[in-house]
Amino acid sequence: MSQDPAHPDPAHPDPAHPTGHFRHHPVREATQRDSAIDHSKVRVSVIDTARFDASSRAPVLLGFLLGILWLLQGSLLGDLTSFKFDWPDLLSAQEYLTFGRVRPAHLNMMVYGWASSAMFAVSLWLMPRLCRTPLRWPGTAMAGIIIWNIGVFLGVALLLTGVGDGLEWLEMDRRLADPLLILGAALVGASIWRTLADRKVRHLYVSVWYVAASYPWLVIIFIAGNLPIYEGVESAAVNWFYAHNALGLWLTTINLGLIYFLLPKIIGRPIYSYWLSLVGFWGLALFYSLNGMHHLIGGPMPSWMIATSITASIMMVIPVLAVGINQHMTITGRFGAMRYSPALTFIVLAAMSYTAVSLQGILTALVNVNRITHFTHWTIAHSHLGVYMFVTMSLFGGIYYIMPRLIGREWPSANLIRAHFLLVGGGMVLYVVALGIGGVLQGLDMLDAAKPFEASVTAAKPWLLARSVAAVLITLGHFVFAYHAYVLYSLSKTDVVPQPPFFFIRPVLVKNIK
């Protein structure tokens, strides 16, 4: 099934299907034509690529800058949140820093500040590359990023002063903050779709599906989630419809698009299977969007809603395995390339975490597992495996790949990248393992009615302390990363380039050797 560039002649069709209707299948023909062209012809000169990169440079760098600033603040608040489990009287005198406010502030800063800003940047960089045309409406995109970030700033500031909507993942004030977020995302989306409409390629690469579709998805679910018309348990249904889809149809999709782009790009080998990509994309769109109610298993909802979500959660096996197999088969045999590309290291870790977190999510949606893990720290471990080990790692990989190309210089220090990787990677493994164990112990104690509630609290305490250690390691890693990005950026102000970065040299293709 691999799209093999070694057989460029369309006059000789695929020997696997020499006759019959397969030969005239329109999608198949398009796929074959696009993948059969000799790569040296498809690869527009580096000058063209540099032109596309230049067209998106300003909004992309802005998105990364704002994202990294949120990342640092969000980590500090995350640490504070974690410390408050260990020392509950820490900084409790001020209402602005009470646990119940810094926790949602941490989540909102990370999801809407850090991840979303960086994802705007990533999508604005990907689209010109994949559509082989300069970015359309870059000013609009830039305005969108700024408006979105003003919205996040207002939302988080209001949250800390006690103004918010009170729904998890939707805490930001629906009158003052949310309209700005909707407008911001719509403006960035407009630039994305305008570029897509003016594309210079016929075939839409899989990353384009994910990135382009994410924008209408985000705007629709965000508006639906924030309407002030729901009450009672319906408000819970909408809450988890939104929160789960913010993960599934926004955070996940943009990052899968990025992984689908960078994996083949860095190792110089096409994606293993076009059809698996299709199954992965449409399967995710159909099943992920129905998953939300598994956050309310056993709750006061009509059982058909919960059953729908459990079923859809189990069906997620299909797209998750499709994407997992597709990406694994693409990179298999080339894992060694991770030694030379930090971007690839982060991306591969992110891709594996996507499979891991999805399988863990499916497992958690099963009633027998859920009765133990529901309402425990296991959920927090799971969400960090998703939003950190998958989403944030993928964004780190993206930034390591994209920033030097926009600045025209290599990252100055391999050791700082190593330190960053070891701190955040090691920290997050400790985080997920510790909270996972703590959560299960807590859940088992809670399920046993013979034990007092105290048992579930004390069982989790040492693991919460381990989580705090992990949180500090991760924060250190973020500061290393931010410092390194700052050094790289400030180098662009000096004009002497000691040697051209490797990506300015015309790339030599790695031929697919059989």
Partner 1 sequence: MTRILVLLLGALATVIFALVILVILPGTLLAKVDHAPELKPYTRQELHGRTLYIQNGCVYCHSQQVRDPSFTSDVARGWGNRPSVPADYRFDKPHLLGTMRTGPDLFNVGGRLPDAEWHLLHLYQPRALVPWSIMPSYPFLFEHKQQAEAGDKALKLPASHAPASGVIVARPEALDLVAYLLALKHNYPAPVPKPAPAANAVNKP
Residues numbered 208-227 forming contacts with partner 1, rule: CB under 8 A: 208-209, 212-213, 216-217, 220-221, 224
Q: Which x/- pattern, by CB under 8 A, does the window 54-73 give for partner 1?
A: --------------------
Q: State the nearest-atom distance from the C-beta of 451 to partner 1, in Å.
A: 9
Is 76 a binding residue for partner 1 by CB under 8 A? The answer is no
- Cβ(171)–Cβ(165) below 8 Å: yes
Rounded Cα gap, residues 427 and 79, in angstroms:
12
| Candidate residues 235, 332, 415, 490; the one interacting with partner 1 per rule CB under 8 A | 235
Q: Which of residues 384-403 bind partner 1 (CB under 8 A)?
A: none
| Candidate residues 147, 276, 290, 424; the one interacting with partner 1 per rule CB under 8 A | 290
Q: Which is nearer to partner 1, 308 or 341 (CB)?
A: 308
Q: State the nearest-atom distance from the C-beta of 289 to partner 1, in Å.
A: 3
Q: State the nearest-atom distance from the C-beta of 107 to partner 1, in Å.
A: 10
Rounded Cα gap, residues 130 and 127, in angstroms:
5
- CA 151 to chain CA centroid, Å, is 21
Radius of gyration of the chain (CA): 23
- From 182-190, 398-406, 451-459, 488-496, span contacting partner 1 (CB under 8 A): 451-459
Is 24 a binding residue for partner 1 by CB under 8 A? The answer is no
Rounded Cα gap, residues 361 and 382, in angstroms:
7
Is 85 a binding residue for partner 1 by CB under 8 A? The answer is yes
Q: Which of residues 420-439 bind partner 1 (CB under 8 A)?
A: none
Rounded Cα gap, residues 348 and 393, in angstroms:
9
Residues ≥6 apart with Cβ < 8 Å to 126: 207, 208, 211, 257, 258, 261
How many Å from the N-terminal Cα to the C-terminal Cα in the chain?
14
Is 233 a binding residue for partner 1 by CB under 8 A? The answer is yes
| Candidate residues 153, 375, 479, 489; the one interacting with partner 1 per rule CB under 8 A | 375
- Cβ(102)–Cβ(76) below 8 Å: no
Residues ≥6 apart with Cβ < 8 Å to 169: 107, 111, 225, 239, 242, 243, 246
- CA 501 to chain CA centroid, Å, is 28
Q: Which is nearer to partner 1, 18 or 452 (CB)?
A: 452
Is 77 a binding residue for partner 1 by CB under 8 A? The answer is no
Q: Which of residues 181-200 bind partner 1 (CB under 8 A)?
A: 196-197
| Candidate residues 5, 78, 104, 189; the one interacting with partner 1 per rule CB under 8 A | 104
Q: State the nearest-atom distance from the C-beta of 245 to partner 1, in Å.
A: 7
Is 454 a binding residue for partner 1 by CB under 8 A? The answer is yes
Q: Which is nearer to partner 1, 278 or 337 (CB)?
A: 278
Is 363 a binding residue for partner 1 by CB under 8 A? The answer is no
Is 204 a binding residue for partner 1 by CB under 8 A? The answer is yes
Q: What does the block give as tokens for 314?
A: 């189990």
Q: Which is nearer to partner 1, 139 or 298 (CB)?
A: 298
| Candidate residues 183, 278, 314, 359; the one interacting with partner 1 per rule CB under 8 A | 278
Is 230 a binding residue for partner 1 by CB under 8 A? The answer is yes
Rounded Cα gap, residues 467 and 181, in angstroms:
32
- From 38-46, 120-128, 142-150, 284-292, span contacting partner 1 (CB under 8 A): 284-292
Amino acid symbol at 359: L
On the CB side of 364, how many CA atoms lie within 13 Å of its CA? 27
Q: Which is nearer to partner 1, 164 or 361 (CB)?
A: 164
Q: What does the block give as tokens for 210?
A: 């994910």
Q: State the nearest-atom distance from the C-beta of 511 to partner 1, in Å.
A: 27
Q: State the nearest-atom distance from the C-beta of 149 to partner 1, in Å.
A: 24
Q: State the nearest-atom distance from the C-beta of 448 to partner 1, in Å.
A: 7
Q: Which of residues 27-56 bind partner 1 (CB under 8 A)?
A: 27, 30
Amino acid symbol at 500: P
Residue of 455, 461, 287, 294 lying closest to 371 (CA atoms):
294
Q: Kindly determine how many residues on this chain lie close enough to bind partner 1 according to the rule CB under 8 A.
A: 87
Element (H, E) at 31: helix 26-36
Tally of residues, the chain: 514
Quickly count: other Cβ atoms within 10 Å of residue 203's Cβ.
Answer: 14
Residue of 56, 189, 186, 187 lying closest to 130 (CA atoms):
56
The DSSP output letter for 340 is T
Residue of 36, 32, 30 lying closest to 5 (CA atoms):
36
Q: Which is nearer to partner 1, 4 or 86 (CB)?
A: 86
Rounded Cα gap, residues 246 and 218, in angstroms:
7
Q: Which x/- pattern, by CB under 8 A, does the window 301-340 give for partner 1?
A: xx--x--xx-------------------------------
